[in-house]
A and B are shown apart, each in its own frame.
Chain A
């Protein structure tokens, strides 16, 4: 099968049941996507498939044949996607482990809904757990990235 990751086409000949998370981590050494639960409950592995946020631990390679995947490493050329900039300005992270997934989720939200309401932000981000408890700043950063303020 063929898969495009961060703009680069790859051929995959392994176990087609492999979740995309383990493919990008173990085969491509794209380690920004994190393993947190393996069952789609925490969002640490969030990636974009054809622009839409999905859980990398749930989507198998079989489902990704011919698809285009973006990981945190490919979100922006220079690391300055508006969500990444807002994240830094709001000093969101504590340990940082879940933050790739949070940022990918937020970027996907803003792509489809550039001016979400507060409730829409809370709902969209509720699949991403932050054990350190950065939610207050996560919400502020998403709001900032959407409004520029």
Chain B
């Protein structure tokens, strides 16, 4: 996400991997002469299809990965090394926060290179994008952007091993074949292990792509099978896995920080005498306050430096700080909600204008208005932010659970006035991320304090710090006005959104949303209605806003899918049938015909490769409904609800079965239908869908940050509650639409969240007659 924001100002070509560029230039040159087919992306020319002479290939296709800062790298010498005993080391350059990326990408390389997974060691990359290519683990794109380069790396290594063996035997490459961690002489049947070939093979230059043979789908050993367990499974279950706070350095100090209770609040006075009197507390250090709009700079405040974490916590609690609350000190949630509702009552700025929606609304036989509210939310990963840093001889080293280690490195360097080369960021496992750990303010805090004390320090955020001082998910009011003609046909759909933007975290807040936020379900309603308009209405931020698992898709899916079900009820139609009717004929959404001024945002993925195909949207809705037994008779107090949403270029439908009893909702079953293109690791797709349902249920039932005079009122899991094992979506069935590799892999980590909430609230309506329009549900069913 961040990199996409930054990439506007960049020259994508210079930021793209050199090795890859060479391959692409070669491919492009071949294509120009052969077919004259070119695909342009941001001034970067590449071709999508080519067929090498030598063997079976997969058709290369462009993704937004090429345009990310530092692009994608496919240099096998950077990602793979082989020891003389045959042990293969594969670099994981993406962060692991629970999605399985750290396992799945190396698994793809291992499969394509015919390595035995039991002889693979994964090496976590430090933050170094010039070397590894883009590392920003965000936007549900690790597989989407890196499945091709990983296959290229694996196929190149396999080829190099084969070339080395052929040379040793004095035969042509065609006489040998790599299989199962060894190369076999095809006629003699003699074998050489990868370890024995390692030195000579790895000394070879990377073969050109057109000399590579790629596996057919049928030849995959691990890819698409879901049989590989996550690499860290044993360490996790024995307590050995290393997360941010689990790094210890000799002589390390421990820090806990009192941050401004209101963003941008300035310190008027500090009395640290009581803190310093606590045994183990050594000193306090002030960190400069950063106002709203300071990107990922530390919030500032007063750090307590101590001999252990407990002393630091007690010391922080004993600080007496007077704050000047500043311009956001009058931020109050009830008033803000009213402001947002007032904002959508007025016309906003148009982001889509198909047909003549205003005229159609005026001439409609009936108009219906639906309005939905969702409060700010906290990411609340299980691991609160924590980081370790050391500073010595003008150089800083950090160990931190960050989603974007290179951004953490460059931001920290800039904050400390160092060169990026003088900062190293080592990536630990992340105890959950959900977008919070894209913003490495906590790592920069540790680096700042390490520099101040000239040594090593661990910064530990408490849960209260995490909930009160994070980057909130946007709050929003979404209003939908629908026009219906005399024949009960929907003729107009106007969607207005008022939600503070994450732009306010980067630049001066102008009260408007970024194209990314608009692109997440506001501009791309996939309904077959003649007149559709979408507008964004003013909303200003009064707290740090940051993207949160699935971002603006959450309020959009909640609004659109709730309104669709409400409309079906109004018109006396079956909710699933009406949803399918709204989706309409199978077609590819086209921006111009949809009334967009430019292109669909489309997660920045090229439209030609990742089109919005309503047939796939319809298909998942039908699949989920069929599997759930839509239409079956349920006992009193129970109901099914359906919702579908496309995000992160994946299509997901859910049917939630809800039971409402004594003011409490329970979810005995969920059927998820997901079309994420080629499913590289079905086992992790299922775990992500189970997790998305729990994540969505927590937000729907319990969660909301409320502000009083600029301060977050919640602080821990008592008042910012999570779904627990005593009431969770008990059985989540995940139905994955099967596709060959040629149907591009899309995204999995985030898109499960948006459809869950409206599917649940629609199910609640069908179970109890109670329509939820404001989140969280909390005690609305009582």
Contact = CB atoms under 8 A, between A and B. Distances in A.
Shortest beta-carbon contacts, A-B, top 4:
A32-B239, A133-B694, A97-B431, A95-B98
Contacts of A18: 308, 310
Interface in B245-284: 245-246, 248, 254, 279-280
A130 to B, nearest CB: 7
Contacts of A5: none
A5 B313 CA distance: 24
Contacts of A94: 98-100, 687-688, 691
A103 B235 CA distance: 13
28 contacts: A14-B279, A17-B314, A31-B246, A35-B384, A36-B382, A42-B463, A73-B238, A91-B230, A91-B687, A93-B236, A94-B688, A94-B691, A95-B431, A96-B98, A96-B232, A96-B429, A96-B431, A97-B431, A98-B382, A98-B431, A99-B237, A100-B239, A128-B724, A133-B690, A135-B725, A136-B731, A137-B687, A138-B725
Given A38-B462, A39-B463, 5 more contacts: A71-B239, A88-B233, A95-B432, A100-B239, A133-B691
A19 B310 contact: yes
Nearest to A98: B382
Contacts of B463: 36-39, 42
B240 A41 contact: no
A139 B690 CA distance: 13
Interface residues of A, number: 59
A35 B234 contact: no
A149 interface: no
Contact of A42 (B100, B232, B693, B717): B717
B279 A15 contact: yes
Contact of A41 (B239, B716, B723, B730): B716
A61 to B, nearest CB: 10
A146 interface: no
Contacts of B233: 88, 91, 93
A34 B243 contact: yes
Q: Is the interface of B mostly helix, strand, loop or mixed?
A: loop
A103 B237 contact: yes
A132 B242 CA distance: 18
A91 B246 CA distance: 23
Interface string A5-28: 000000000110111001001110
Interface in A11-70: 14-15, 17-19, 22, 25-27, 29-39, 41-42, 44
A26 B309 CA distance: 7
Contacts of B728: 133, 135-136
Contacts, number: 186
| Residue among A14, A91, A97 with most chain B CB within 10 A | A97
Contact of A88 (B97, B99, B229, B240): B229
Contacts of B550: none
B691 A15 contact: no
Contact of B310 (A15, A39, A134): A15
B687 A96 contact: no
Contacts of B722: 42, 129, 131
A91 B309 CA distance: 33
A17 B279 CA distance: 11
Most buried by B among A17, A35, A75, A128: A35
A133 B310 contact: no
A79 interface: yes
B726 interface: yes
Contacts of A93: 98, 230, 232-233, 236-237
Contact of B432 (A87, A103, A131, A138): A131
Contacts of B690: 133-134, 136-137
A84 interface: yes
Contacts of B97: 95
Interface string B351-387: 0000000000000000000000000000011111000
Nearest to B730: A136
